[in-house]
A = this chain, B = another copy of it.
Amino acid sequence: MHTGATEVLAVLQQRGVHVCFANPGTTELDVVRALETHPAMRCVLGLQENVCTGAADGYGRMTGTPALTLLHLGPGFANGIANLHNARRAHTPIINLIGDHMSWHLAYDAPLTSDIESLARPVSGWVRRITGTADAVAAAAEAVDRSHDNGGQGVTLIFPADYQAETVEAVRPPGAAADPSAAFTTAPRTDFDVTGCADRLRAARKVVFLLGGGGDTSGLGERAQQAAARLCDVLGATAYAETFPARAARGGGLPDFDRLPYFPEPARAVLDAADLIVLAGAPTPITYFGYDGHPSQLVENDRLLVLGTAGDDLATPLEALADALHAPAYTPQHHDIPGTEDGALTPAGIAATVARLLPAGVIVSVEGGTCGYPFYAASAGAARHTTLTNTGGAIGQGLPVALGAAVACPDRRVVALLSDGSTQYTIQTLWTLAHEALPVVVLIAANHQYGILRNELKRGGQALGDRATGLTSLDRPRIDWVDLAHAYGVDAASVETTGELAAAMTRALDRPGPTLIAMQL
Contact = CB atoms under 8 A, between A and B. Distances in A.
A75 to B, nearest CB: 3
Contacts of A33: 457, 465, 467-468
A467 B35 contact: yes
Contact of A105 (B75, B244, B289, B453): B289
A447 interface: no
Copies in the complex: 2
Residue in A391, A394, A477 with the greatest tally of chain B CB atoms within 10 Å = A394
A487 B480 contact: yes
A290 B427 CA distance: 34
A122 B119 contact: yes
Interface stretch (A45-53, A183-191, A230-238, A378-386): A45-53
Contacts of A392: 75, 111-112
B457 A290 contact: no
Interface string A20-51: 00101111010011011000000101011010
Given A296-B105, A393-B112, A483-B484, A122 B424 contact: no
Interface string A231-252: 0000000000000100000000
Interface in A143-167: 161-162
A239 to B, nearest CB: 21
A50 B104 CA distance: 31
A506 interface: no
Residue in A36, A45, A467 with the greatest tally of chain B CB atoms within 10 Å = A467
Given A81-B119, A479-B488, A290 B162 contact: yes
B47 A467 contact: no
A102 to B, nearest CB: 3
Interface string A72-91: 00111011011001100100
B488 A477 contact: yes
Interface string A404-441: 00000000000000000100110110010011000000
A392 B434 CA distance: 31
A504 to B, nearest CB: 18
B111 A244 contact: yes
Nearest to A297: B108
Contact of A43 (B24, B78, B435, B467): B467
B489 A487 contact: no
A87 to B, nearest CB: 11
A329 interface: no
Contacts of A270: none
A328 interface: no
A367 B504 CA distance: 40
Contacts of A434: 477
B286 A108 contact: yes
Contacts of A393: 75, 111-112
A391 B481 CA distance: 33
Given A43-B471, A111-B89, A105 B457 contact: no
A223 interface: no
Contacts of A296: 104-105, 107-108, 110
Nearest to A25: B453
A123 interface: yes
Nearest to A394: B75
Contacts of A301: none
A30 to B, nearest CB: 10
B118 A121 contact: yes
A427 B244 CA distance: 29
Contacts of A76: 82, 394
A43 B110 contact: no
Return the 9 tightest CB-CB contacts between A and B, nearest first.
A102-B290, A477-B489, A105-B290, A75-B394, A78-B81, A484-B487, A483-B487, A36-B465, A115-B122
21 contacts: A22-B471, A25-B453, A43-B471, A47-B421, A47-B424, A48-B425, A74-B122, A75-B86, A78-B81, A79-B79, A79-B396, A89-B111, A105-B289, A108-B296, A110-B289, A119-B122, A427-B428, A431-B477, A482-B487, A483-B483, A484-B484
